[in-house]
Chain A
Amino acid sequence: MEIVNIKGTDDTPSVVLDKDGGVFEFSGRSLPEDVQQFYGPILEWIKAYGEAPNGQTDVCFKLEYFNTASSKMILDVLLAFEEINSNAGGVTIKWHYHEDEEDMKEAGEEYEDIVDVPFEYVEY
């Protein structure tokens, strides 16, 4: 599969989606003007990946900040991985948060309540 490698900016996150390398990572800040334009192709990629996923898929979220419109799109990303997990299994969400960013940890816990995929929390 084609590797997605989007470099982050002040208002969009870095995204790496690499099936062969086994890297699935979202980091930085997400407050784009048009969330659907940014996340649309990413959701397409995940859907295609779901056709023949790796045995194990560790999805790393290391976000500093996301706005509410992005939070909805991040839920869609998580739901796409949930579907892969229910079909093929092997998906784990590794939710990173900075040690004094309680809000980011809570955001992960809220997603965990909604999405049926195992979450692991990593403090940095």
Chain B
Amino acid sequence: MTKIAANQDFLEFAYQLYHTMQANEINLVYEGVVTQEITRTFTALTEKNMVKNEESNQVQRKVFNVMVECLQNISKHADPMSDDENEERRGIVLVSHGEESYNVITGNVVKKEKREKLEKSLELVNSLDKDGLSALYKQQIKEGKISEKGGAGLGFIDIAKKSGNKIEYQFKELTDDLCFFIIITTISRN
């Protein structure tokens, strides 16, 4: 392909992306390394947008909360595509909002061997109501320890608690050992 044709394709892609983002009311889309710095920047950006939209304090705090947990999940738990364990943790991040709700969508590579455990904890969290989540949270915070990666094993419980909605998730097969793990959290605006 000539350089000009390639550029044309890219322009077309950028234009399509713009349309898709507009149509789906996507405020933020990112693919790349997720660090504490990125977490700070994205949450600040989203907060700024919510203030501009005169979103209620409670919704602002919930969206902030869910974003932090989802982003820190990637920066702590994403697996690299290569065998290099020190490779930086990367993933995708999308934040969209419509009339009814905000959606926080994150995705990252995980080893297939982790899939079962993840599914189990997500299914457990999704099976509980508000009081059940609160009980599980209290049990886990008492019994759990801060892991080597710096997590408390409370992320999914907290996401479900704060959002008040079930966590939607999917695993897409990438290779024999790896899959792409996506979670969608919805935060109602009223």
**Residues of chain A having any CB pair with chain B under 8 Å:** 10-11, 31, 33-36, 64-65, 67-69, 71-73, 75, 98, 100-103, 106, 110, 113-114
Contact = CB atoms under 8 A, between A and B. Distances in A.
A29 B23 CA distance: 34
A100 B61 CA distance: 10
Nearest to A36: B146
A67 B69 contact: yes
B69 A33 contact: no
B146 A73 contact: yes
Nearest to B36: A33
Interface of B: 36, 39-40, 44, 56-58, 61-62, 64-65, 68-69, 72, 134, 137-138, 141-142, 144-146, 150-152, 154-155, 157-158, 162
B146 A35 contact: yes
**Interface class of chain A by DSSP:** helix
A110 B161 CA distance: 13
A10 B151 contact: no
Nearest to A76: B146
B61 A110 contact: no
Contacts of B138: 110, 113-114
Given A11-B40, A69-B72, A72-B141, A101 B146 contact: no
